[in-house]
Amino acid sequence: MDTMVTVHRFQFPSEAYALKALLESAGIPVVLINENLIGINPLMSNMLGGVKVTVAKVEEEVARELIKSYFEKPENTQTPLDDRWKTEFDEVETWCPNCEAFPVYSKKRDPNLSFFDLIFWFLMIPFSFLQKKTLFCARCLHEWTR
């Protein structure tokens, strides 16, 4: 049997599952150490050193390369933006479904709201989860709601 090596640690099992799925989809068998103990009592996580993602020693190098790409922030695929995009829009960390550009943008709220607008927005806070957000891509000018 191969020696197992810890390649990453997470505080909770739910955080480790995505990395486990990534490694297993690449054909690397993974064992999560302390998964059940911390799942039963999350307060033990720091004492036990967290959930350990372990792989066979022979798979360690490939696993570490995959982990590096997993945690690496995607490069900005945008062209340089004019001032309009920087002042009128907020950056949203997601991809455009049309051209896969990263990041995309959402329209900023008008800072010059009247008193009645402010009262209306204050009263609508409990229902804010129902509001759809419109996103824009600066690269292909695609627009969609989320």
Instruction: Give the residue extent of every domain in the chain.
Output: 4-71, 83-145
Q: Are 20 and 32 in contact (CB under 8 A)?
A: yes
Position of tokens 């989809």? 25
**pLDDT tens across 105-133, in order?**
777 666 666 777 667 767 776 766 666 77
DSSP the chain: -PPEEEEEEESSHHHHHHHHHHHHHTT---EEETHHHHHH-GGGHHHHTSEEEEEEGGGHHHHHHHHHHHHSPPPP-PPPPPHHHHHHEEEESS--TTT--S-EEEEPPPS---HHHHHHHHHTGGGGGGPPPEEE-TTT--EEE-
Residue 24: the pLDDT is: 95
- Higher pLDDT residue, 45 or 80? 45
pLDDT digits (tens, 9 = 90+) for 25-44: 999 999 999 999 999 999 99
CATH architecture for segment(s) 4-71: 2-Layer Sandwich (3.30)
- Tens of pLDDT along 58-84? 999 999 999 988 887 656 555 556 666
Q: Look at the pTM and tell me if it is higher than 0.75.
A: no
Helix pair 60-71, 13-25: axis angle to 10 deg: 120
